Amino acid sequence: MAYSVYQINTYIKKLLGKDPALDNVSVKGELSNVKYHSSGHIYFTLKDSRSQLSGIMFGSNAGLLKFKLENGQEVTVTGSITVYEANGKYQIYAEKIKRDGVGELYEKFEELKNELEEMGMFDEMYKKPIPKYVKRLGVITAPTGAAVKDIINVSKRRNPYIEIILYPALVQGNGAKESIVKGIKTIVDYKPDVIIVGRGGGSIEDLWAFNEREVAEAIFNCPIPIISGTGHETDHTIADFVADLRASTPSAAAEQTVCEYDSFENEILSFWDALNSVIDAKLERAENRAEKLRLRLEKNSPEAVLKEKRIGIEARKGALYSAFERRLNAVEQRFLRQKTALITEMDKLVAKARNKLEGQDNTIRIAMNSRVTKAKQKQSIYAEKLNGLSPLNSLSRGYSFVSDKDGLPVKDVNGINIGDSLNIYVKNGRIEADVTDKREGY
């Protein structure tokens, strides 16, 4: 016949219940894993150097305690020992708990904590800043268990591209402190941005490797920032105080270390949009300035200057022609007046001495023609001088005007170089040419 698990656990409970040695028994040991439940019950573990015993104190008895139970306290627990059928675990049901003193491990913890604090190893001045953007994460913890899974899951959720380097260390028991120290020294060679050192929750003895001096010194001397994520939120170890940052749990360590990639990407995109806005604004200002310079250059270009000069020359030419016509008219009027006066004088002389002057008629006519010829020659000379003053007339005769690429006139062969661009203005337009040779003289 096969019995159910419940039947076996119930039978064992009855056996224990019949043993008077386990009823109203007092057990002395050190408290660990103390947890106050919302129901008012208190759960704890009672241990010594060789073994441990689970215990519970119901709320009715817990309310009568004169002190608060804490990890590390040496106490004497009085109650009955029996089996809890649901999990087959035997434990002491405490009715009274008497405090005996501070436990050995807790005392060692406080002693080392005070010593390291006096040495300044907890001082903020030695804390290295945690990088905002971590690309390579070092993790020192047990290769199996919830802690490493939580760190990896949280890190990959926040940034699927992060590189994680795991050093599988012992985090409990013999050799744990040596393994953690070696892990810190080894993982530094991989040059991670940040290192997370930690494990899941447990009793003070479970976490004791993180309370060792060697581990504290390795964390303090590590050149790379270290985050301690050990135990639960209420657990504190020496490693927490020495580390550059303390996280309440391994998951919290990953949350505080790894930036959220989506937020980072959105931040980069916002920076990109802002940068594009600045660039667009600068380009617009540059285009406006270029347009103003283009209009200014167009206004001051040699072609525009030449056009303006041409208009000025035409205006001056018209003014010169008008002045010439006025002067010519004045000369003609003066000549007519002189001619009239001469004719009148001649008529008088002819009238007085017609006979005498008849022989001199040809001489007078020649003199008159000579004066008229000289006047016409003088008139031609003035016209030629006026026409010679016109630059356009010079261009029409085969001459040209040469300027450099900046519109400045070329007056000296030494003012230009081989390869320079020149503008040559002739009668009916402009020629662009490059200098291939030059020499002084003709």
For residue 327, count other CB atoms closer than 10 A to its CB.
12
- Give residue 353's pLDDT: 67
Domain boundary among 243, 259, 275: 259
- Give residue 202's pLDDT: 77
Whole-number Å distance between alpha carbons of 384 and 390 = 10
Where residue 42 sits, what CATH number does that domain have? 2.40.50.140
Which residues neighbour 103 within 8 Å (Cβ) at sequence distance 6 or greater? 30, 31, 71, 72, 73, 74, 204
**Geometric angle at alpha carbon 150, from 144 and 156, rounded to 5°:** 115
Residue at 115 is within a domain? yes
- Give residue 245's pLDDT: 93
For the chain, state the CA radius of gyration: 58
Number of domains observed in the structure of the chain: 4
Where residue 232 sits, what CATH number does that domain have? 3.40.50.10550
Whole-number Å distance between alpha carbons of 51 and 48 = 6
Residue at 226 is within a domain? yes
- Give residue 164's pLDDT: 93
- Give residue 388's pLDDT: 65
64 and 143 both lie in a single domain: no
Domain boundary among 259, 294, 329: 259
- Give residue 78's pLDDT: 93
91 and 133 both lie in a single domain: no
CA atoms within 13 A on the CB side of 3: 8
- Give residue 219's pLDDT: 94
Which residues neighbour 317 within 8 Å (Cβ) at sequence distance 6 or greater? 390, 392
pLDDT 10s digits, 289-301: 888 887 777 776 6
142 and 223 both lie in a single domain: yes
Domain boundary among 49, 78, 102: 102
Residue at 293 is within a domain? no
Q: Can you read off the two tokens belonging to residue 167?
A: 């050093």
Whole-number Å distance between alpha carbons of 53 and 89 = 10
- Give residue 389's pLDDT: 62
Residue at 197 is within a domain? yes
Q: Can you read off the two tokens belonging to residue 410?
A: 């070329």
Q: Which phi and psi (to 5°) does residue 435 adopt?
A: -75, 120
- Give residue 290's pLDDT: 82
Beta strands in 231-312 (DSSP E): 245-247
98 and 114 both lie in a single domain: no
Residue at 280 is within a domain? no
- Give residue 12's pLDDT: 80
- Give residue 350's pLDDT: 64
33 and 75 both lie in a single domain: yes
368 and 380 both lie in a single domain: yes
Nearest residue to 52 via CA among 3, 8, 105, 4 = 105
- Give residue 43's pLDDT: 94
115 and 228 both lie in a single domain: yes
125 and 250 both lie in a single domain: yes
What's the distance, Cα to Cα, between the start and end of the chain in Å? 136
pLDDT, one tens digit for every residue, the chain (442 residues) = 787 777 777 878 787 776 777 788 899 999 999 999 999 999 999 998 888 999 999 999 998 887 888 898 888 999 998 888 888 888 999 999 987 755 667 778 888 989 999 999 999 999 999 998 899 999 999 998 888 999 999 999 999 989 999 999 999 889 999 999 999 999 999 999 999 998 887 777 888 899 999 999 999 999 999 999 887 766 788 999 999 999 888 889 999 889 887 776 777 777 787 888 888 888 888 888 888 887 777 776 677 667 777 787 878 878 877 887 888 788 778 877 877 877 787 778 767 766 665 666 677 778 788 888 888 888 888 777 766 666 666 666 677 878 888 878 887 888 788 888 888 888 788 888 888 888 877 6
Task: Give residue 378's domain range.
Answer: 302-399
122 and 233 both lie in a single domain: yes
- Give residue 274's pLDDT: 82
Residue at 283 is within a domain? no
380 and 418 both lie in a single domain: no
Strand partners, 255: none
- Give residue 429's pLDDT: 84
- Give residue 265's pLDDT: 72
Residue at 288 is within a domain? no
DSSP for 142-179, please give it: -SSSHHHHHHHHHHHHH-TT-EEEEEE---SSTTHHHH
117 and 216 both lie in a single domain: yes
CB 190 within 8 A of CB 207: no
72 and 144 both lie in a single domain: no
Q: Which phi and psi (to 5°) does residue 347 adopt?
A: -60, -40
Residue at 287 is within a domain? no
pLDDT 10s digits, 94-112: 999 987 755 667 778 888 9
For residue 260, count other CB atoms closer than 10 A to its CB.
13
- Give residue 427's pLDDT: 75
Q: Which phi and psi (to 5°) does residue 101 adopt?
A: 155, -175
Which residues neighbour 121 within 8 Å (Cβ) at sequence distance 6 or greater? 216, 220, 241, 242
Whole-number Å distance between alpha carbons of 77 and 92 = 8
Whole-number Å distance between alpha carbons of 137 and 152 = 10
